[in-house]
Amino acid sequence: MATANRTTRPTPRPGPIPLKRWPGVARDASRVIDAESTAPVDSGSLRTWHFLDNGPELERQGLDPVGTILCVHGNPTWSYLWRNVVAAGANSGIQPWRVVAVDQLDMGYSERTGLERSLEDRVRDLGDFTRALGLDDAAGPEGVVTLSHDWGGLISQGWGMKHPDLHRGRIFTNTALHHAQGEEIPGALRLALHPAVHGKGTRSTTAFLDVTLSLHKGTWDPEVRKTFRSPYTSPAAREGIQNFVADIPVDEGHRSYAAMQRIAQAVADDDLPCLVLWGPGDPVFKQRYLDDILARNPEATLHRFDKAGHLVAEEEDISTVLFTWLDEAYLGAPDVVERHRVVREKDRKASPLALDYRPMVSELEERRDDDSLAVVDMGPAGRGLKDRSGDSERRSRTRQATIRRQLSWRELAEQVDRTAEVLRDLGVQAGTRVNLMVPPGSRLTTLIYACLKIGAVIVVADTGLGIKGLTRALRGASPEFLVGIPQALLAAKTAGWPGRRVLAGTAHSSTLRLLGAETGIESHEVSAAQPTTPWNAPQPDNVAAILYTSGSTGPAKGVAYTHRQLSSMRDAIQNTYGLGEGAGLVAGFAPFALLGPALGATSVTPDMDVTQPKTLTAKALAQAVRAISATVVFASPAALMNVVETREDMNEDEQAAMQGVERLLSAGAPITVPLLEGMEEICPHAKLHTPYGMTECLPLTDVNLDQIREAERDADPQDGVEGAGAGVCVGTPVYGARVQVVPLDDTGAATGEPTHTPGITGEIIAAAPHAKDHYDRLWWTERTSASIPGWHRTGDVGHFDATGRLWVEGRLSHLISTESGLLTPVAGETAAEKISGVRRAAVVGVGPWGAQVPVVVVERESAPARNGSRAIKDGPAPQALARAVRSVVESATGVRVAAILQVREHPTDIRHNSKIDRPRLAAWADSVLSGGKVRKP
């Protein structure tokens, strides 16, 4: 080829347009350009590059871009991966950006050089391209922001290292910047590099291409898939794929290893703004590569698309997210890099102590000389009561419980101190993430307060999420330590959960090896060389805990709380319910197990499986109450249902113990009046409260049974307030909290102005000192939830009545769109649950949006089996029950019900066992009504 004149800038010309246009690509966005190579492998050669460019679209609209996004693909994709970003550059966000997506040489529709190009060659190649295109001189006032995927990450950052004045920011999708010496590369890449597979798998056949495209999750347009394959139809066209795989720097002996080291270090040194958009379901670029990126970019903005994998740009709408980030990071900033550095320095400064801030550990510190009871653990006592019926359920309901462990305030303080010393000796310090996989009780309490004292970040993901949910959550949080019971450590070893493993207890060295644990908390000998860092109290606005949601409305989200917010939660509970020194608390609801010592209350954990709240029996609850003369009980609705159903199993002493309960609280899901009335019979002297809230803000409002009865009496359809009783009354805001609703439009979107006006249904928004700080590593989710400044969007739907009480009607995602308008589900559900024989009810929509019909699915109360078969069958409800349910629901809602179905048990969220999985139930109802085989929902 002829050599290009270095002083002449080549002019882009139209690129290769196939007979069928590429889906999603404007015809004039495909362009080619010639550039002289300076790469060592073919210096001086003129090479032809193909790229996608929205420059022509910007020119048509008369827009001057503020900067250029340089998109760099990996292997074996090409510029087509970025087509949606190219198309959105002129029309997304506030500012227009030029988007240039390049095909690397030997890839896509760029020239096949027939040469093996190293990492260093490809970095120089990219520089040749940007120089030829004129980006080096005219990228826009904000310069160039790189966007990369796969091995495009290293190449783009190598380009940035050589263009420090031009490179102004970076956006990563699944990629890697560094691979440590001695660490194995992912199995799929090891296989591709094997001499027996390399050539055949990458060049001779389409195997490597096929495997990569198969990583796409969900549905994929066949034309799009075909377009991804189109540049690689022959062995010669796939030679670049082969050579790209060969250039993976597996160890320090590889030709590209040193270049990788230099580039990775440069990224750590330059302090550029960084956005990371990650698909965690990636078998190639796993969590360790994300952790490395975050370590090199400690101030990076991260959003994990939890359902996405390797091809995250294909599976999710990354354009909206990245252009929003660019607007926020660059809008009006003459020097964004300098501005970013200033913000970082401000954030590093210690926050001043607020006058009203009292750390969570304060009560424990003040009572370290107190020998009265602080925490008590209950457990099964021997073999329990004899039951010759052979009924295992009966035996579990009637088994005796006893005190298994108890600590005074003095003993608890001493154990917290020692545990904190052990953790610090292991390397835990302020900001270190520690995953605690220990059931509620004295051991968990000790660990929690030790972490709070050090300033470590507590990560709590409920085991009720299941292995799959836990794995997703823990990989997202990426804790440095995992402290757990033996079962948790075995699961961690099997599932590959992150973190150095430490046993929450003591065990022989052989057992520790089996569990993969390096030591046991209670047997670890603290080294003579103590940590040199002082015992400084953590700052109020440092993150203290990451608590995972139940996963009932999608993948569980990590909710980050600061020390100030946790202490505000304590204050809200203390001031709302009068809890404090002298109170005895039965913590049958895991989130509240940690609050006892902070409140100064003696707390007891009943004999139950905390991952399944419905395992709490009346006898177990009464025995826990009697153990500490408890005055307060906190349990989930599912737990209380079982307590009411098993109340006949209590003996006289246990019934008497329940007489001393002064306050009962239940949260986690809407709770019905009949259930509260059942508990009223068990605890006749107690005020029965149903706080409303969520992991992001608990509690938010409060109401008691007497107030609910009053509200229902007031909810007369003739009172002129539309929908006054449509839902569950959750009362008024607790201490420090504020609540409003955002009215819904015809499509069910919350688009109106926040209001307290009675009778207007809308999305409930909340503000409180104890509301979350942010969602962990979910920037876009957080931004969406906080789109109204100062408020958290709950996703729940409700309204205020004439007296200012809040009524919850369901969730935004559970709205039913009928021909006559929107319908919320809770009013019909509460009406149906008043029918004898109905344990729980769910109203779901079947059919297309805008023409859905409401279907009621009832969960029947337990009935004995007859003739060896179940008395209740999933499917259509019996006629008598259907008539009764239809009548009461239509009377309550004014909406005609299409069908009444029944199930033995509703599918629920996996933590509380209380929140019904309505989308799953709706799909089941649709299948049943369409004549499909009746299966378990």
pLDDT tens, 515-533?
999 999 999 988 776 666 6
Which stretches of 595-635 are assigned E, i.e. beta strand? 602-605, 632-635
Rounded Cα distance between 308 and 314, Å, is 9
Whether residue 937 is predicted with pLDDT greater than 90 in this model: the reply is no
At residue 447, the pLDDT reads 96
362-689, what's its fold? Rossmann fold (3.40.50)
Q: Residue 916 has what DSSP assignment? A: B
- 934: number of Cβ within 10 Å: 15
Q: pLDDT band at residue 540, thresholds of 50, 70 and 90?
A: very high
Which stretches of 409-566 are assigned E, i.e. beta strand? 433-437, 457-460, 481-484, 500-503, 519-520, 543-548, 558-562
Which of 185-199, 606-620, 834-848 tops mean pLDDT?
834-848
Which of 508-512, 655-659, 890-894 tops mean pLDDT?
655-659
Alpha helices in 688-812 (DSSP H): 705-714, 779-785
Token pair listed for 462: 């409920």
CB within 8 Å of 616: residues ≥ 6 apart: 588, 606, 608, 635, 639, 642, 643
Token pair listed for 179: 């691979």
Q: Tell me yes or no: is domain 817-929 CATH 3.30.300.30.
A: yes
Rounded Cα distance between 622 and 716, Å, is 38
Give 117-158 as a DSSP string: --HHHHHHHHHHHHHHHTTTT-S-TT-EEEEEEETHHHHHHH
Q: Between helices 119-133 and 152-162, what is the axis angle to 10°?
A: 60
Arithmetic mean of pLDDT, 575-603: 85
Residue 100, beta-bridge partner list? 53, 70
At residue 550, the pLDDT reads 78
At residue 781, the pLDDT reads 94
* Distance (Å) of CA 12 to CA 139, 176, 253, 478, 667: 15, 31, 40, 45, 63
Residue 167, beta-bridge partner list? 144
The secondary element (H helix, E strand) that includes residue 798 is: strand 792-800
At residue 671, the pLDDT reads 80
Asked whether 670 and 693 are in contact (CB, 8 A), the reply is no
At residue 10, the pLDDT reads 74
> What is the phi/psi pair of residue 6, to 5°?
-65, -25
Give the rounded percent of residues in the chain with a pLDDT score beyond 90.
Answer: 66
**Mean per-residue pLDDT over the chain, rounded:** 87
Query: Residue 536 burial by CB count (10 A; 0-12/13-18/19+): exposed, middle or buried?
Result: exposed
Residues 738-752: b if buried by 16+ CB within 10 A, e if exposed: ebbbbbbeeebebee
Residue 841, beta-bridge partner list? 858
Residue identified by tokens 């390399």 is: 198
Asked whether 515 and 493 are in contact (CB, 8 A), the reply is yes
Asked whether 149 and 73 are in contact (CB, 8 A), the reply is yes
Among the listed residues 672, 707, 670, 712, the one whose alpha carbon sits nearest the alpha carbon of residue 687: 707
Q: What angle do CA 855, 857, 863 make, to 5 degrees?
A: 155
At residue 18, the pLDDT reads 65
Whether residue 403 is predicted with pLDDT greater than 70 in this model: the reply is yes
Arithmetic mean of pLDDT, 568-587: 90
Arithmetic mean of pLDDT, 664-675: 83
The secondary element (H helix, E strand) that includes residue 175 is: strand 167-175
Q: pLDDT band at residue 196, thresholds of 50, 70 and 90?
A: confident
- φ/ψ region of 880 (left if φ > 0, alpha if ψ in -120 to 50, else beta) reads alpha
At residue 914, the pLDDT reads 58
Taking only the tens place, the pLDDT of each residue in 117-139 is 999 999 999 999 999 999 999 88
At residue 347, the pLDDT reads 35
Whether residue 387 is predicted with pLDDT greater than 70 in this model: the reply is no
Which stretches of 271-366 are assigned E, i.e. beta strand? 274-278, 301-304
At residue 578, the pLDDT reads 87
Arithmetic mean of pLDDT, 852-857: 93
Q: Between helices 409-426 and 442-454, what is the axis angle to 10°?
A: 60
CB within 8 Å of 201: residues ≥ 6 apart: 191, 192, 207, 208
At residue 869, the pLDDT reads 41
Could you state, in order of their start, the residue ranges of all structural domains in the chain? 13-342, 362-689, 692-814, 817-929
Asked whether 47 and 69 are in contact (CB, 8 A), the reply is no
Which stretches of 56-97 are assigned E, i.e. beta strand? 68-72
Residue 546, beta-bridge partner list? 459, 560
CB within 8 Å of 890: residues ≥ 6 apart: 896, 897
Residue identified by tokens 């060969």 is: 246
Looking only at the bridges linking them, the beta strands covering 46-53 and 98-102 are antiparallel
At residue 151, the pLDDT reads 93
Least confidently predicted of 30-34, 280-284, 645-649, 829-833: 829-833
> What is the phi/psi pair of residue 797, to 5°?
-115, 140
At residue 668, the pLDDT reads 74
Token pair listed for 41: 């492998």
Residue identified by tokens 């540049």 is: 231
Rounded Cα distance between 172 and 168, Å, is 14
Rounded Cα distance between 457 and 443, Å, is 17
Instruction: State in words which class domain 13-342 has.
Output: alpha beta
Token pair listed for 234: 């022959």
Whether residue 91 is predicted with pLDDT greater than 90 in this model: the reply is no
Token pair listed for 815: 């709205």
Residue 899, beta-bridge partner list? 855
3-state SS class at 238: helix
* Distance (Å) of CA 878 to CA 413, 581, 724, 858, 935: 59, 53, 32, 11, 18
CB within 8 Å of 416: residues ≥ 6 apart: 361, 364, 446, 449, 450, 453
Whether residue 206 is predicted with pLDDT greater than 70 in this model: the reply is yes
Give the rounded percent of residues in the chain with a pLDDT score beyond 70.
Answer: 89
Which of 146-160, 330-344, 671-685, 880-894 tops mean pLDDT?
146-160
Q: pLDDT band at residue 766, thresholds of 50, 70 and 90?
A: very high
Arithmetic mean of pLDDT, 503-512: 92
Q: pLDDT band at residue 92, thresholds of 50, 70 and 90?
A: confident
Give 17-55 as a DSSP string: --SSPPTT--GGGEEEEEEE--STTSTT-EEEEEEEE-H
Instruction: State in words which class domain 692-814 has.
Output: mainly beta
> What's the pTM value of the predicted model, to 2 decimals?
0.88
Among the listed residues 843, 806, 614, 626, the one whose alpha carbon sits nearest the alpha carbon of residue 708: 806
Q: Residue 868 has what DSSP assignment? A: T
* CA of residue 784 relative to chain centroid, distance: 13
Arithmetic mean of pLDDT, 149-169: 97
Taking only the tens place, the pLDDT of each residue in 784-842 is 999 999 999 999 999 999 999 999 999 999 999 998 889 999 889 888 988 988 988 99
At residue 7, the pLDDT reads 41
Alpha-carbon torsion (74, 78, 84, 90), positive or negative: positive
> What is the phi/psi pair of residue 844, to 5°?
-130, 160
3-state SS class at 665: strand
Rounded Cα distance between 776 and 790, Å, is 18
Whether residue 878 is predicted with pLDDT greater than 60 in this model: the reply is yes
At residue 394, the pLDDT reads 58
At residue 187, the pLDDT reads 72
13-342 and 362-689, same CATH topology: yes
Whether residue 345 is predicted with pLDDT greater than 80 in this model: the reply is no
At residue 109, the pLDDT reads 97
Asked whether 242 and 210 are in contact (CB, 8 A), the reply is no
Arithmetic mean of pLDDT, 130-154: 94
Peptide bond before residue 280 is cis, with ω within 30 degrees of 0: no
